[in-house]
Structure 1
Amino acid sequence: MTKNRSVIFFDIDGTLLDSNKKLPNSTKEAVFKLKEQGHVVAIATGRAPFMFENLRRELGIDTYVSYNGQYVVLNGKVLYKNPLRTDAVEKLTEAALSHHYPVAYMDHKDMKTNIPEHPYVKESINTLKIDRYPSLDPEYYVGRELYQALLFCPEGEEKQYEMAFPEFDFVRWHPVSVDVLPKGGSKAKGIEKIIEKLGFPEERQYAFGDGLNDMQMLSTIHNSVAMGNAEEKVKSVAKYVTKSVDHDGIQHGLKMMGLI
């Protein structure tokens, strides 16, 4: 490794992808410029691997932290897995059903729901603008490793689940949907696994993000950059703030950091 090489982690929604879930040309050009210069470019997202396969292919990226740190891949090979406890998922499902709330089960290949049709599922999943919609399989959690679940409920309702299920972290990403993750799991921990393998010193580590699930990553990585479209509390934990994703924020940020 030369001393000028760095590793750069990018969130997807609101960071690599703009408000219309499109990849700006300036971002694509900037990422390829990073790669041409020998830097390691990686993704750190709350999305499942199958939700950004096309983006990985378009950008030529094969190192990523998915499911907010629960499923980590380095150079196309699985490096780290942190699945949910199956017995706790079953109990969470029972609790959700008692309030007529759906649950989605997610592994590295697919996602399934336990209720055939529900407006909360449609409303939240459609905002991701992906070509994969969860099909029905109420027992998908049985006999397989799940890295995340989705609990579909209105804002504030997750509090009762937080109290009842201390083995999970609940992170809201939509007014009617909450990510359910293993307790203590985060993008920062997934990134740590990659850093341990690659050996980059902290001054050669960079991260770009905009969401609440990026806060630990941005507060941990030495050179952290919040997008201009991020909430103020996200910006407050980052060392730097770039322009909005809709105004060439990635390209601007990378130039600001002297990487391109």
Structure 2
Amino acid sequence: MTKKILFFDIDGTLYDHEKKLPESARRAIMAAREKGHLVAIATGRAPFMVGPVLEDLDVDTYICFNGQYVVHKGELIHGGIIEPDVLARIKEKADRDRFPLIFMADREMVATETGHPHVGDSLSSLKMPYPRASETFYMERPIHQALLFCTEQQEQEYAEAFPEMKFVRWHRTSTDILPAGTSKAGGMQRILDREGLTMSDAVAFGDGLNDIEMLEAAGVGVAMGNGHEEAKKKADYIAGDVSEDGIARILDQLKLI
């Protein structure tokens, strides 16, 4: 098989339901690399949240913040930001609605308030601690992504009020906020360009709503059996559950190992 570049989401794709990387997945990905394929990460997580999986898989090419932050072989090649004036307007509305926000920089995330149950609930699903709080952090550091904590129904009002932004739900109490047009697929294209490859050379693995664009764009899109139904509709293949050797089995099925 010709060389492919394999883009893996983390949560629900590489990480199982306990937020651990199954040994079967690690071995299979190493075997794919030995076959000559390239391995990259494509996640909604921040750079400071992906160190363990990069180390476990010996990866230095990755997409964070759903395409806002792209590193190729250890070099930052794209760092998209959300303009402070836009963040200020979003925060003004969220403050009125009494919805907390998190602002995410490359090395830290900061909440607008402490102790909110929606923040604690969603971050605990990622095994992440509650961050410190600050009212001014978004004015002090480049912000690549924000999180709004509200219900799916409440989110619609923000999507209508801020058409220049994109809202992608990842938890029942939280949604990502990104500039419109941002996606993991865009990050993939930047890496493929550096490698002299095309989307037909890409194989994407994901499970969530923020994976849909890359599953559609890649030459082969694989949704996990435990994934969101909308992601599965856009995939070329459905793998097994992440906790049931889903990655190892689909890599074998696709003859990538």
Q: TM-score, normalised by structure 1?
A: 0.95
Residue 135 of structure 2 aligns to a residue whose secondary structure is coil
| Further displaced range: 93-102 or 113-122 | 113-122
Q: Paired residue for 2:248?
A: 251
- CA deviations on 1:142-201 (whole Å, 9 max, x unpaired) are 142111001111221011111111111111111111111111100001111101111124
Q: Tell whether 2:174 aligns with 1:177.
A: yes
1:232–1:118 distance in 2 versus 1, CA, 3 Å: closer
Q: Paired residue for 1:156?
A: 153
- CA deviations on 1:95-145 (whole Å, 9 max, x unpaired) are 001011111110111000111221111111111013x53111211111421
Matches of 1:242 and 1:116, distance apart in 2: 39
Partner AA of 1:126 in structure 2: S
Matches of 2:36 and 2:120, distance apart in 1: 41
**Structural mapping, 1:214-233, within 5 Å:** 214-233=211-230
Matches of 2:160 and 2:167, distance apart in 1: 10
Partner AA of 1:39 in structure 2: H
Q: Paired residue for 2:15?
A: 17
**Structural mapping, 1:1-260, within 5 Å:** 4-130=2-128, 132-260=129-257
| Further displaced range: 194-203 or 83-92 | 194-203
Q: After TM superposition, what 4+ stretches of structure 1 lie above 6 angstroms from structure 2?
A: none
Higher fraction of helix: 2
Residue 97 of structure 2 aligns to a residue whose secondary structure is coil
Gaps spanning 5+ residues in structure 2: where?
none
CA contact (8 A) 2:215 2:223 kept: yes
Matches of 2:172 and 2:198, distance apart in 1: 39
Gaps spanning 5+ residues in structure 1: where?
none
Residue 83 of structure 1 and its aligned partner are, at CA, apart by: 0.7
- CA deviations on 1:48-68 (whole Å, 9 max, x unpaired) are 111111111111111001100
| Further displaced range: 193-202 or 68-77 | 193-202
Residue 88 of structure 1 and its aligned partner are, at CA, apart by: 0.6
Alignment RMSD: 1.2
Q: How many residues align?
A: 257
Q: TM-score, normalised by structure 2?
A: 0.96
